[in-house]
Chains A and B, each alone.
Chain A
Amino acid sequence: MHPAFSVLIFTVVSGAGYGLIFLTILGHLSGLAVLQNQSLLLSSGVLSLVMISGGLLSSTLHLANPKNAWRAFSRFKTSWLSREAVFAILFYPFALLYLIGVWMQGAEIAAVFSLAGWVAAVLAMITLFCTSMIYASLKTIRQWNSALTPVSYLALGLMSGGVLLLMLQIMVDDTASDVLKNVALALLCVGVTVKVIYFFWIGKPSGSSIKTATGFTQASVRLLDQGHSSNGFLNNEFGYTVSANKLLRIRFLAVAVAFFLPMLLVCLSGPFALVIATLAMLAGLLAERWLFFAEARHVVRMFHGDQSV
Chain B
Amino acid sequence: MKLGLVVDLDTCVGCHGCATACKQWNTSGTIGPLSDKDPYGKDPNGAWLNRIRTYEVGDTPNSKTVHMPMSCMHCEDAACVTVCPTGASYKRSEDGIVLVDQDKCMGCNLCAWACPYGARELDPNEGTMKKCTLCVDRIYDEKLPEDERKPACVLTCPTKSRTFGDFDDPNSEVSKLVRERAGKQLMPELGYNPVNTYLPPRNKPVAVKYETTGIAGKVKGWVNKVIAR
Contacts and interface: CB of A to CB of B under 8 A. Distances in A.
A227 interface: yes
B116 interface: yes
Interface string A260-287: 0000000000000000000000000000
A23 interface: no
B80 to A, nearest CB: 10
Interface stretch (A102-110, A149-157, A174-182, A205-213): A205-213
B51 interface: yes
Contacts of B110: 79, 81, 134
B189 A231 contact: no
B140 interface: no
A227 B54 contact: yes
A71 B128 contact: no
B19 to A, nearest CB: 8
A215 B185 CA distance: 7
B214 interface: no
Interface string B42-57: 1111111001111111
A230 B55 contact: no
Contact of A304 (B19, B53, B85, B188): B53
Nearest to B50: A227
Contacts, number: 183
Interface in B51-67: 51-59, 65-66
Contacts of A221: 55-57
Contacts of B65: 224
A72 interface: yes
A220 B85 contact: no
Given A81-B85, A215-B184, A227-B51, A303 B56 contact: no
Nearest to B114: A138
Given A81-B110, A140-B113, A215-B198, A223 B55 contact: yes
A207 B79 CA distance: 19
Contacts of A85: 85
Nearest to B42: A230
A233 B59 CA distance: 31
A122 to B, nearest CB: 22
Interface string B126-164: 111000000000000000000000000000000000000
A140 B108 CA distance: 17
Contacts of A68: 86, 88, 103-107
A203 interface: no
B9 to A, nearest CB: 8
A230 B44 CA distance: 6
B115 interface: yes
A223 B192 CA distance: 24
A140 B114 contact: yes
B53 A225 contact: yes
A227 B52 contact: yes
B191 interface: yes
B206 interface: no
A164 B190 CA distance: 41
B186 interface: yes
A137 B51 CA distance: 27
B198 A79 contact: no
A226 interface: yes
A115 interface: no
B98 interface: no
B96 interface: no
A299 B105 contact: no
B83 interface: yes
B202 to A, nearest CB: 14
B37 to A, nearest CB: 10
Given A63-B107, A215-B198, A215-B200, A138 B56 contact: no
Most B Cβ at <10 Å: residue of A80, A141, A219, A231: A219
Contacts of A229: 44
Given A75-B87, A220-B58, A139 B68 contact: no
Interface string B108-120: 1110111111100
Interface in B9-50: 16, 19, 42-48
Given A65-B107, A81-B83, A233-B45, A220 B59 contact: yes
A79 B53 contact: no
A299 B189 CA distance: 12
A267 to B, nearest CB: 41
B82 interface: yes
Given A214-B186, A222-B55, A232-B48, 10 more contacts: A207-B189, A216-B58, A216-B200, A227-B16, A231-B45, A234-B118, A237-B113, A237-B122, A238-B118, A299-B187
6 closest residue pairs by CB, A with B: A64-B107, A64-B127, A65-B127, A71-B86, A82-B85, A65-B107
